[in-house]
Amino acid sequence: MRRKLIAGNWKMNMTPSQAKALIEEVKPLVAGKDNCDILFCVPFVDIFAAQEAAKGSNIKIGAENVHFAEKGAYTGEISASMLTECGVEYVIIGHSERRQYFGETDETVNLRTKAALAAGMKVILCLGEVKDQRLSGITDEVVAMQTKLDLKDVTEEQLKNVIIAYEPVWAIGTGLTATPEQADETCGVIRNTIKALYGEKAADEIIIQYGGSMNAQNAKELLAKENVDGGLIGGASLKAKDFSIIVDCAQ
């Protein structure tokens, strides 16, 4: 049985004081709901405020990106050791918004993934097809290729710290959601790719989330699917009640 991970991706939302207020609002709503892991990945400047607010609760705080170099002349970037020293265990890598707006490629996603894993972090690796690729019927090939390229040279041991978030780009922030069947099928393709690369045990164990307009209304059906081990939630993670309903759906 894989343990579900319900994770919010706040993107570029929430100041530190807003972060504190939201976490404090979510805390009582998810208290005692221990059948899944609960995580918020937050802007770097919110990390301390969010951690402070989450103290003593079942909510974990992660980051939204990490650079691949250990240190050096990379103005504006944050390294894995900076995050781990701040007590951050989880980091999102390769989100489609990074790929779309900030020139992220499978190559840089792979570099970041390896750096974070080498620092002992858990990586939420995001991948997924764009609309044209889905309409052209090449979704399976696209996600299989991204899985292979993004995990290049990641060892079987390191893979235990990798979570994959399948996020069809056409479903992100659009209100369009993959049907539960589409989500299950494509998460299954990713799982089969992991099986081909790392074997059956690794494929059985890896957590594969769905992301893309998951909300309080559609979460139950999506999370009921065999290959969907959780959600990476954008918009609905900014609303305490909606997020807590999604957590309930994973219980």
Binding site for ligand 13P (CB under 6 A): 9, 95, 167, 172-173, 211-214, 232-236
The full DSSP string for the chain is: -PPEEEEEE--S---HHHHHHHHHHHHHHHTT-TTEEEEEEE-GGGHHHHHHHHTTSSEEEEES---SSSSSS-TT---HHHHHHTT--EEEE--HHHHHHS---HHHHHHHHHHHHHTT-EEEEEE---HHHHHTT-HHHHHHHHHHHHTTT--HHHHTTEEEEE--GGGTTSS----HHHHHHHHHHHHHHHHHHH-HHHHHH-EEEEESS--TTTHHHHHTSTT--EEEESGGGGSHHHHHHHHHHT-
Give min distance, CB of 123 to ligand 13P, in A. Answer: 14
> For residues 215 and 221, what is the distance between their CA atoms, to the nearest angstrom?
11
- Output phi, psi for 106, to 5 deg: -60, -30
How many angstroms from the chain centroid is the CA of residue 24? 22
Q: Based on CB atoms, which residue is closest to ligand 13P, 10 or 198?
A: 10
Give min distance, CB of 7 to ligand 13P, in A. Answer: 8
95: annotated active-site residue: yes
Q: Which of 64, 97, 104, 167 is catalytic?
A: 167
Q: Based on CB atoms, which residue is closest to ligand 13P, 172 or 190?
A: 172
> For residues 64 and 3, what is the distance between their CA atoms, to the nearest angstrom?
22
Q: Based on CB atoms, which residue is closest to ligand 13P, 6 or 214?
A: 214
Q: Based on CB atoms, which residue is closest to ligand 13P, 37 or 167?
A: 167
Q: Which of 64, 67, 95, 104 is catalytic?
A: 95
Q: Based on CB atoms, which residue is closest to ligand 13P, 198 or 242?
A: 242
Give min distance, CB of 229 to ligand 13P, in A. Answer: 15
Give min distance, CB of 183 to ligand 13P, in A. Answer: 13
Give min distance, CB of 88 to ligand 13P, in A. Answer: 17
67: annotated active-site residue: no
Would you name the residues annotated as active-site residues?
95, 167
